[in-house]
Amino acid sequence: MEYRQLGGTEEKISAIGLGTWQLAGMMGAVDRSESTALIRGAIDGGVTFIDTAELYGDSEQQVGKALSGGYRDRVFLATKVSKDFTAAGVKKALANSLKALGTDRIDLYQVHRYDPLVPVEETLRAMASLQEQGLIRYCGVSNFTVEQLQRARRVAPIVSNQINYNALNRSAEKRMIDYCRRERIAVISHSSLAKGILSGKYAPDHEFAADDERSTFPGYSGDLFRRVLAVTGRLEQAAEAEGISPAQAAIIWLLAREEVASVLVGPKTESQLDESIEALAALQPAGRSALRHKMNTILDSSDLPPLCPFPDQLV
């Protein structure tokens, strides 16, 4: 495993992080009986960064169960306040998360999104108070723009921004990545495989099941979906030339940026988890940069818009 610094802190987290949105069945059926083995397998494989949220169905409970028996002290645990961003809402959400996760502190507590109806100052002051009480160690945000991040930082020290960032959504490269590098704020990528589209597993005629959130996303069906897969087909050829899988190429594309502290992946199976971890050993730094350049050349020659299901995640 490879470990990277969390922004301007002295903490180091695994370059591959375990996301847990998929464990709640939001992207199709999952076998919940296997989640403990999956999470513990990730930790045993060197993953120290685990990310969840109050919005992720019963994922916090599944993570809490897996972290019993001594596993909690082996990880840097992150979760998010996702629904009510008022001071009272933040306090209540954290109490619920601590109970669900079976822990007495959260290592990284994140604001899941910017809420225009609640002053971000109120949200961050509440988080700073909880930090002073020792209930959270660090404050982070998710899906914030540069301006929103600047505003939040006037209230509390922000160590990370978790953003929708992948080879099919490079919008963060316009401003966010450079800003985070200058200010020593960690970039954590979510949707690292573009909700699985960069895995190379889908044909142009694929239709996502009704219980899969992707069935409602723009760009995940119809003509745009076919155009996207035509581009990912070329990316898959670049991966094959390196002897790696398309998913590993997508992960390496992110790892080539030093600003990215951790690449979140959302495996449903242990084999998918192993594939992600093995990407770390696939190429040396020079090889990572060369592959990223090759992939960017392919992407630059396409006329695809950013593949991002939620407009507020175009940071």
CA 307 from chain centre, in angstroms, equals: 16
The answer to whether 200 and 236 are in contact (CB under 8 A) is yes
- Angle at which helix 87-101 crosses helix 59-66, to 10 degrees, equals 40
Rounded Cα distance, 230 and 195, in Å = 17
Among 252, 313, 247, which Cα is nearest to 15's?
252
Cβ atoms within 10 Å of 209's Cβ, excluding its own: 10
Rounded Cα distance, 244 and 268, in Å = 20
The answer to whether 109 and 127 are in contact (CB under 8 A) is yes
- Mind telling me the catalytic residues? 56
The answer to whether 232 and 198 are in contact (CB under 8 A) is yes
Among 248, 174, 186, 155, which Cα is nearest to 51's?
186
Cβ atoms within 10 Å of 256's Cβ, excluding its own: 20
Strand extents, DSSP E, 64-192: 76-81, 106-111, 136-142, 158-164, 186-190
Rounded Cα distance, 285 and 208, in Å = 36
Instruction: Say which residues have a Cβ less than 8 Å from residue 43's Cβ, sequence separation at least 6.
Output: 50, 71, 74, 75
Rounded Cα distance, 180 and 261, in Å = 11
